[in-house]
Amino acid sequence: MSKTKNNHYLSQHISRNFRVNNGMPFWEYDCATQIGPKQRSLDRLFAARNLWDQRMEDTISNTFDNDLDRELKLLVSCSIKRKRITTCKGMVEPQFNGIIIKETERRKLLGKLFLQTAFLQRSNAKKKDNNAEKWAIRFLTSDIDINMNVVLAEINPLIKFPPLILVDGMLFMVFVPETKNKEKLGHISFFFPISTKRFLFWGGKDDFDYFAYKFQNINFLNLSRIQQHDKKCKIATQDIEYLKSLISLIKNFSINEKVPIISSRNEK
């Protein structure tokens, strides 16, 4: 088998579903160095040479990319029924609609998306760590079910919103304050976008309701995702005009969280 020299720490199978025009490039911006926007092909987006050994690359391709590719294609195109709510202003449609993913095997497969953070950390590691790669391979080939409710959600296509952007570390952690048990501050739910308009959410109904209320402004959501990476991430989209407007807001954006979360980007 030929050696793969160009390793993707964010799978092309994920990035591909963020294309809204096959004839357009992606535009990438490095928030840490403030370099960009630069044009990137799908093959060069969120990739670098010789990040890990061939065994890990083959395992990612065979047990992660191929299965997820089929699953994500289905999830970004399947029908999601839009609800209508009666209000004092008449019938309105909510901003987010979704369906609960109940199939155990599907949930197990989607849970492997959590590993994308580990791939990013390996890409930023200062030295090679065979033990870390062995651990990643064990997780990829294991039969683990993350015991959390999983929702496939869609931003209402009838309402004009900015696109969900690609971030080099896609998993976004949402702190949900505790409202019933005053002895606890709260807990974490998880958000992972799979297209410019759809995302996966791990959490209960109350967690999703909290998320939908807090992040109803998609621009605010994108900026919050960038801040969670301490503004050191790379971001990308095909919408160059939106990216330029987003870049202008990054430096001065700040949100005071009761429990701030910073996503680890490096391995020593």
pLDDT tens by residue, 115-127 = 888 888 877 776 6
Residue 22 lies in a domain: yes
- Better-scored residue on pLDDT, 266 or 203: 203
Q: What pLDDT is recorded for position 222?
A: 98
pLDDT band at 212 (very low <50, low <70, confident <90, very high): very high
Structural domain range at position 32? 6-250
> 38-89, pLDDT tens digit by residue?
999 999 999 988 888 888 888 888 776 778 889 999 999 999 888 777 666 7
H helix runs in the chain, sequence order: 12-15, 54-60, 66-77, 104-111, 116-124, 130-141, 205-214, 218-228, 240-250
pLDDT band at 1 (very low <50, low <70, confident <90, very high): very low
Residue 58 lies in a domain: yes
Residue 89 lies in a domain: yes
198 to 55, 136, 157, 214, 260: CA distances (angstroms): 32, 27, 10, 17, 25
Take residue 47 and report the two structure tokens written for it. Answer: 């990739």
d(CA 114, CA 102): 18
d(CA 13, CA 34): 27
Residue 132 lies in a domain: yes
- Tell whether the model's pLDDT for residue 2 goes beyond 80: no
d(CA 162, CA 219): 6
If one counts the domains in the chain, the total is 1
Residue 261 lies in a domain: no
Within its chain, how far is the Cα of 31 from the centroid? 17
Residue 226 lies in a domain: yes
Residue 95 lies in a domain: yes
Take residue 201 and report the two structure tokens written for it. Answer: 């959410």
Which residue from 186, 190, 152, 198 is spatially nearest to 169, judged by alpha carbons?
190
Within its chain, how far is the Cα of 122 from the centroid? 17
Q: Kindly report the length of the chain.
A: 268
Contacts of 243 (CB under 8 A, 6+ apart): 27, 29, 37, 165, 235, 236, 237
> Model pTM?
0.91
d(CA 79, CA 91): 21
Least confident segment among 190-194, 224-228, 263-267: 263-267
Any idea what DSSP says for residue 258?
S
Give me the mean pLDDT over the 13-29 stretch.
92
Q: Roughly what angle, to the nearest 10 degrees, separates helices 240-250 and 218-228?
A: 60
Residue with tokens 């701030």: 260
Residue 264 lies in a domain: no
